[in-house]
Structure 1
Amino acid sequence: MTSCDRFLLDQPGGTLNHIRPVPAALFLAASLALTGCSQASSSEASSASEDATTSASAADFPVTIDAANGEVTLDSRPERIVSLSPSATEILFAIGAGDQVIAADEYSTYPAEAPTTDLSAYDPNVEAIAGYEPDLVVIANDTNGIVGALAKLDIPTIVNEAPATVEDGYDGVAALGMATGHVDETAEVVADMRAEVDEGLAAAPQDRLRIYHELDEKLYAASSHSFIGSVYDSLGATNVADAADKQKSGYPQLTEEAVIAADPELIVITDQVSYTADDVANRPGWENVSAVRNGNIVTVDADISSRWGPRLPQLIESIADAMASVKTPVG
């Protein structure tokens, strides 16, 4: 398994029980308004938000979540959740649903109390999953048709995809809050994330530094069409991988010639690639790349940089710090 593969691993009981991205955001706004963390833009918006919040409380199941795999109805609050997404596992624990998670995939290593097992998200096995008798499975992708296979066993599944933007990430957190009956806790988590993210963005330098985020030795990189790429865009950076991402996949493969020609001022790698910043600096022909010449190659935590969720503020802070510390030639 390559580091690029691992990066990609890691989204009827009443008239207001159908939860879609916009209503999910409204429910968060309502919860925050009730705790003094948000303001309603109008009386109509406030009323709609309060209704959405009420419908999402633990006592008001069933609810229907509009997930990436379609509408998913949960008749009661799930108490035996299997998470096959490291990002979802982090989110579930952060919003207070950790006690409802009975098993998590092999890469769900955070937080420490996560019930990590040998379950695979890359090659999910329906029998192994069903053995835990889950009443909800959360995954990032419908790999091997696992959603349909679990549906045949009457096991509901929510596909919580990797978000394309930071705002989409908040919606993903909101959806899991709705699904697990943790409305107020989720609102608080998102409010804290927003505040910390805004603080990190404000601290970032205003210069549009050219950034190259390399995923592996084959020169796959994160463009602005990926979640991490959207973070760089929010920080005001210019992503050198964008020119190669004609299909807007989020993860194009570059050539050495293209990287050298783009002349990134900051190169970012993760701590789980098989090489170091020094190895990058010593690549033949890279000696005149600005980031190499000025010593601006940084290594970030792979878990944080490849997962969307409550540790997003840490990622933004680390990248903002790296951007602020970029060295430029003297004279």
Structure 2
Amino acid sequence: MRLRTLTFVTLLFVAAIVPATGAATAGAASMQTDSCTFPYTATDATGTEVTLDSDPERVVTLNPSAAQTMWELGASDEVVGVSKYATYLDGADEKQNVSGANGPSVERVLDANPDVVLVPNSTYAFAKDRVDQIRAQGTTVFVFETGSSLSFVANKTEQIGRLTGNCEAGRQSAQEIRNSADLMREVLADEDKPVALNYFYTYTSGSNTFIGDVMTTAGLTNGAAEANITGFAPINTETVVEMNPEYIIVPTGATVPDTEAWNSTTAVQEGNIIEVNSNYLQQPAPRSVDAAETIMQAVHPEAFEEYQSMKAEAEATTTESTETTTQTTTAQSTTTQAVNDTTTSAQTATGADTPGFGVALTLVSMLAAALLATRR
């Protein structure tokens, strides 16, 4: 075993004195790209190249989805302004209310003195002039794309983490969204997918909507999409009757019309009206997963239990893996410190300026590390 160790260390020694190749340079470049450093530049949904010179300390969110994301990242303390629709978040009532009449207030946003303003596409769509005024004052503004899936929600979460300097939290939260969605689809792969309709105040969610994706991820068939409805659009009673949904999904506070047409549907007759927290169902943010879980539990209770069990097992495995990595890192740090202490002693006794000392010292350090490794 010791002979093999020494041979391996010799190879490492040879590699250490060979000049770095292009591959090593590429690796360093990749690490730099993935690092959470500033300045950082990204192009937003308007095609504007947005640059943040430093890690933002003051963030304004013009829509509750961006605010919810900041809360989920554990960065609510960085938020100084929210819309009036974000008051459901703990502590949001202590932030500056930047809402005005029929949209964001330019004056209130500017008074909050933000380092960056996060603007979901729905806000930009009906308040473009106000957002442009905020940007014209020299305030950094980032506008997001329109949400169309849980995958979009995960990517947006990661992007907000990067923009606000909460990179690791953003990556972790995004991965949790992806993992949950993948696991739901896996558990529900062989289950029947009953037809369902999302309804809120004469509107429904068709194809290319994140609510539609929440529904299908939870084990339903989106009837509106099957009826060739795209995006968020009105739905008429004739379509409802023809579709005859088995389930109707509504946000809290919304109701199903008490009419002959709606009452004729299987969903109403069997009492399959699923009410989902509107702050989770209608906002393309991390808690969309909670909305999908609510629907899945109501429609596929047995599969939901399996999903919960598998999710808990996966989280436990992840936690165990993280703890193992931490222990390994700590052990490596201890070994490195021991080698460094030996190196310092050798430098003192021999003199670091002696020709060839650096190469010899590298070999000694590697041998010391290898010998420590063989004793574990």
Normalising by structure 2, what TM-score? 0.66
- The answer to whether structure 1 residue 190 and structure 2 residue 174 are counterparts is yes
- Find the partner of 2:99 among 112, 120, 124: 120
Deviation of residue 78 (structure 1)?
1.1
Distance 1:101 1:50 in 2: 29
Distance 2:88 2:26 in 1: 36
Sort the Cα spacing of 1:232 and 1:95 in 2 relative to 1 into closer, same or farther, 3 A.
same
- Find the partner of 1:210 among 195, 203, 215: 195
- The answer to whether structure 1 residue 82 and structure 2 residue 60 are counterparts is yes
* Greater per-residue helix proportion: 2
1:71 alignment partner in structure 2: 49
Sort the Cα spacing of 1:136 and 1:284 in 2 relative to 1 into closer, same or farther, 3 A.
same
User: What per-residue deviation string (whole Å, max 9, x for no partner) do you get for residues 5-33 of structure 1?
Assistant: xxxxxxxxxxxxxxxxxxxxxxxxxxxxx
8 A contact 1:206–1:236 mirrored in 2: yes
Distance 2:87 2:233 in 1: 28
Distance 1:306 1:228 in 2: 7
Q: Secondary structure at the match of 2:61?
A: strand
- Counterpart of 2:292, as a letter, is I
Deviation of residue 93 (structure 1)?
2.1
8 A contact 1:123–1:144 mirrored in 2: no
1:254 alignment partner in structure 2: 235
8 A contact 2:106–2:133 mirrored in 1: yes
**Aligned pairs (5 A) from 1:74-223:** 74-114=52-92, 115-120=94-99, 122-140=102-120, 141-142=123-124, 143-204=127-188, 206-216=191-201, 219-223=202-206
Sort the Cα spacing of 1:129 and 1:235 in 2 relative to 1 into closer, same or farther, 3 A.
same
- Find the partner of 2:39 among 57, 62, 65: 62
Q: Secondary structure at the match of 2:178?
A: helix
User: What per-residue deviation string (whole Å, max 9, x for no partner) do you get for residues 103-139 of structure 1?
Assistant: 1110112430224444227422211211111111111
**Aligned pairs (5 A) from 1:288-299:** 288-299=264-275
1:230 alignment partner in structure 2: 213
Deviation of residue 236 (structure 1)?
4.4
Deviation of residue 88 (structure 1)?
0.6
Deviation of residue 156 (structure 1)?
0.7
- Counterpart of 2:234, as a letter, is Q
1:307 alignment partner in structure 2: 283
Sort the Cα spacing of 1:287 and 1:106 in 2 relative to 1 into closer, same or farther, 3 A.
closer
Identity of aligned residues (%): 27
Deviation of residue 303 (structure 1)?
0.7
Distance 1:293 1:46 in 2: 61
Distance 1:109 1:151 in 2: 25
2:321 alignment partner in structure 1: none
Distance 1:164 1:256 in 2: 25
User: What per-residue deviation string (whole Å, max 9, x for no partner) do you get for residues 162-205 of structure 1?
Assistant: 41111111111111111111111212212222333333334447
Distance 1:44 1:113 in 2: 46
- Find the partner of 1:242 among 225, 243, 263: 225
Normalising by structure 1, what TM-score? 0.74
Larger radius of gyration: 2
- RMSD (CA atoms): 2.6
Distance 2:155 2:244 in 1: 35
Distance 2:29 2:185 in 1: 30
Deviation of residue 233 (structure 1)?
2.8
Sort the Cα spacing of 1:293 and 1:124 in 2 relative to 1 into closer, same or farther, 3 A.
same
Q: Secondary structure at the match of 1:299?
A: strand
- More off after superposition, 289-298 vs 237-246: 237-246
Unpaired segments of 5 or more residues in structure 1? 1-42, 327-331
- Counterpart of 2:174, as a letter, is V
Distance 1:116 1:222 in 2: 32
Sort the Cα spacing of 1:201 and 1:257 in 2 relative to 1 into closer, same or farther, 3 A.
same
Deviation of residue 144 (structure 1)?
3.7
8 A contact 1:291–1:297 mirrored in 2: yes
